[in-house]
Structure 1
Amino acid sequence: MQCYFRFWPNNKSRMYILDSTSEFVKTHGLQAGDALIIYKNPVPGKYIVRGEKAIQQTN
């Protein structure tokens, strides 16, 4: 499963978009409040995407 990011110049910075994440989110059962974490891989041009569930607080 692959996610893709793209960017374009926006004034003096860049605007980034992460595409093709819906299948990743479904497969890992992610919901609102959970996180997608992106790591830069030592292989040039490659990144690792990881999903992390939000911590559930109990009373």
Structure 2
Amino acid sequence: MVDRVTTGFVLNYSGHPVLPGQKLEIEKLMYWTSSDVINVTIGNVPEDNTFTATVL
């Protein structure tokens, strides 16, 4: 059995909103009772490059 964490944080780098159904599915998969979505704007990152330096 997995212990449930009260709240998790979803970092959204997609540039698109996380829909309520998606948020519920993430919470279910992560065994969270609730979550907060943090929308992170990182600009345009070419798909063939890593954005690790931008995030850090």
> TM-score, length-normalised on structure 2?
0.29
Higher strand share: 1
- Greater relative contact order: 1 or 2 (C-alpha under 8 angstroms, separation 6 or more)? 2
Higher helix share: 2
Structure with the greater alpha carbon radius of gyration? 1
> TM-score, length-normalised on structure 1?
0.28
